[in-house]
């Protein structure tokens, strides 16, 4: 079975690669941006067939689909950071929308050319739901994005559903809520705190954690549970098109700091910095994964304490201990 993962060198892509390489019979292919470092997957060299491509280059993407003829596709490449979308909405819309359309259309053409198009997983976001409410969001909740990143994801989400209805592309849309784990960029909160705690542990920083809005509440899922869910969606055909992906448990950002203190044994003070508060962020994002569980049997397995401990160890290994 040939599996193509776009953005395979990224945070989620590298974990997807590790998971898929553990499944017998998979021939793994992945795209990465030209001339970009691939440090996240250097330990997998020789086990993954890499293809350089800008995801918005529709001709290049079609060429990769012609060469690989994937049986399954996980589309992860894109711009995933809200503040970047606020600074560069045009670039975000281009990558997230037109990059997604390039993948969808390559899958459509493969089906037309060979009669066997791939099963395609299109990654949207839990942010498409917009304003928080008392009960968790389900797949039936209205899509009301409130920042450029969420709007870009809502757009390709709906386009993907239209490709399924109009062209018969076997696409599933997943709306993941926040996720965390080793290798995540420190622009994201769990990785940022993990790095700060590692610097403190290494004696390179005072025991002060710099943070933005610590009252915001989020639903965090371990990235390794996330990639298991992606594969479960691709290998179970339930008749549903859209799936939420979350842990079903909401924590405040202040609780994240508390967990890091527990798993590291380091006591810190918190210094709030306005520059770390993101414009366009909702105070609460919570979801339900009931449909995903019913369709595939998936449940989150890795507790948040373990996720954050692993994030801390990842940064500790990179920063080093004193002496």
- Average pLDDT for 18-39: 95
Q: Is the pLDDT of residue 323 over 50?
A: no
Which distant-in-sequence residues (6+ apart) come within 8 Å of 282 by Cβ? 127, 130, 131, 132, 146, 216
CATH class belonging to 182-218+250-285+301-319? alpha beta
The confidence score (pLDDT) of residue 321 equals 41
Which pTM does this prediction carry? 0.94
Structure tokens at 153: 């994801």
Q: Which of 43, 40, 46 is nearest to 28 (CA)?
A: 46
Question: How high is the mean pLDDT of the chain?
Answer: 94
Q: Is the pLDDT of residue 281 over 60?
A: no
- Average pLDDT for 147-152: 96
- Average pLDDT for 200-210: 95
**Calpha distance 3→198 (Å, rounded):** 36
Q: Which of 217, 222, 216 is nearest to 11 (CA)?
A: 222
Element (H, E) at 294: helix 290-296
Of 88-102, 130-144, 160-174, 294-308, the poorest mean pLDDT is in 130-144
- Average pLDDT for 267-277: 83
Percentage of the chain beyond pLDDT 90 is 87
Domain ranges of the chain: 2-179+220-245, 182-218+250-285+301-319
Domain at 2-179+220-245: CATH code = 3.40.50.720
Structure tokens at 14: 């590298």
- Average pLDDT for 217-226: 96
Element (H, E) at 16: helix 11-21
The confidence score (pLDDT) of residue 25 equals 96
**Calpha distance 249→1 (Å, rounded):** 35
The confidence score (pLDDT) of residue 277 equals 63
Q: Is the pLDDT of residue 125 over 60?
A: yes
Q: Is the pLDDT of residue 248 over 70?
A: yes
């Amino acid at each position: 079975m040939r599996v193509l993962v776009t953005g395979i060198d990224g945070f989620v892509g590298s974990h997807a690669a590790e998971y898929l390489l553990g499944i017998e019979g998979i021939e793994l292919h992945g795209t990465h941006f030209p001339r970009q470092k691939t440090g996240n997957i250097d330990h997998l060299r020789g086990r993954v067939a890499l293809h350089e491509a800008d995801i918005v280059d529709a001709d290049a993407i079609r060429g990769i689909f012609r060469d690989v003829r994937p049986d399954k596709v996980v589309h992860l490449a894109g711009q995933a950071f809200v503040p970047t979308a606020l600074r560069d909405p045009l670039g975000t819309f281009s990558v997230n929308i037109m990059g997604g359309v390039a993948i969808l259309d390559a899958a459509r053409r493969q089906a037309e050319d060979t009669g066997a198009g791939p099963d395609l997983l299109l990654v949207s976001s839990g942010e498409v739901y917009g304003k928080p409410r008392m009960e968790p969001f389900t797949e039936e909740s209205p899509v009301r994005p409130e920042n450029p990143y969420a709007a870009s994801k809502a757009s390709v989400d709906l386009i993907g559903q239209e490709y399924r209805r109009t062209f018969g592309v076997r696409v599933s849309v997943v709306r993941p809520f926040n996720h965390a784990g080793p290798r995540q960029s420190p622009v994201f909160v769990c990785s940022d705190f993990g790095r700060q705690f590692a610097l403190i542990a290494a004696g390179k920083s005072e025991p002060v954690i710099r943070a933005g809005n610590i009252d915001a509440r989020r639903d965090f899922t371990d990235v390794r549970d996330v990639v298991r869910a992606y594969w479960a969606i691709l290998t179970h055909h339930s008749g549903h098109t859209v799936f939420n992906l979350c842990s079903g448990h909401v924590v405040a950002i202040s609780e994240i700091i508390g967990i890091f203190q527990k798993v590291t044994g380091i006591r810190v003070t918190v210094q709030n910095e306005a520059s770390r508060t993101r414009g366009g962020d909702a105070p609460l994002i919570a979801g339900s994964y009931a449909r995903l569980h019913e369709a595939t049997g998936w449940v989150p397995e890795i507790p948040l304490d373990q996720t954050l401990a692993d994030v801390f160890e990842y940064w500790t290994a990179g920063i080093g201990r004193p002496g």
